[in-house]
Chains A and B, each alone.
Chain A
């Protein structure tokens, strides 16, 4: 079964600085996708960035980048130039590809609360 672990319950960062949110995963499948979502206090889950298991390049989306280390099974989110609006809960998630035991299930980690200080 797949499992996602986020070991940082809370993180603090100064505005305009970079921050890394950790995520490790466990799967026996070779084909999977890794996702990061942001959840502000309003409750909505906002998709940020995606990394496929076969992608050789780390994914980037604006100020978000994903530090993908396949051998270590880690997929850390890096937010550059933090803004006050980045304060939210961040979730790492994974879904296995066709044929995987957890095909179709998007499994989430426990989340990390990020607070950006002015």
Chain B
């Protein structure tokens, strides 16, 4: 039990589908993150939320739409994805944005776009 839970663990979707990834943290943290991990590439930061407010959008295509209704929940809404969007999507949280606090990660959602 890591304290950060992601659902679903695996997702296969067509390019015309709409789906959502969910992340929930039970650690009382204020900052939440979405990362994308593609094969043979470093983890790419996608979005950062701090106290429910988006503080970072790392030039992510609009077919990825994040939502943070409260400090405990983070969603990533997906629509009209491309095959190159297939990857492991990791959610993380930390007590604050600062440099001295580690981030805790969920187990990820492995997404395949067909």
A108's partner among B42, B98, B104, B106 (CB-CB below 8 A) is B42
How many residues of chain B get a CB closer than 8 Å to chain A's CBs? 28
Instruction: Give B contacts to A, CB under 8 Å.
Output: 2, 31, 33, 41-43, 45, 48, 50, 55-56, 88, 90, 92, 94, 97-108, 110
Q: How far is the CB of B24 from chain A (nearest CB, A)?
A: 15
Check A52 against B100 for contact (C-beta < 8 Å). yes
If the complex has contacts A97-B99, A103-B98, A108-B42, are A43 and B55 also in contact, measured as CB distance less than 8 A?
A: no
Q: How far is the CB of A114 from chain B (nearest CB, A)?
A: 17
B100's partner among A43, A44, A97 (CB-CB below 8 A) is A97
If the complex has contacts A33-B100, A103-B98, A104-B97, are A44 and B42 also in contact, measured as CB distance less than 8 A?
A: no
Residues on B with beta carbons closer than 8 Å to the beta carbon of A84? none
Q: How large is the interface on A (under 10, 10 to 19, 20 to 34, 35 or more residues)?
A: 20 to 34
Check A44 against B56 for contact (C-beta < 8 Å). no
Check B90 against A103 for contact (C-beta < 8 Å). no
- The 15 sampled A-B contact pairs (Cβ below 8 Å) are A33-B99, A33-B100, A42-B107, A43-B90, A43-B107, A43-B110, A44-B105, A44-B106, A44-B107, A47-B104, A95-B98, A103-B97, A103-B98, A104-B55, A111-B42
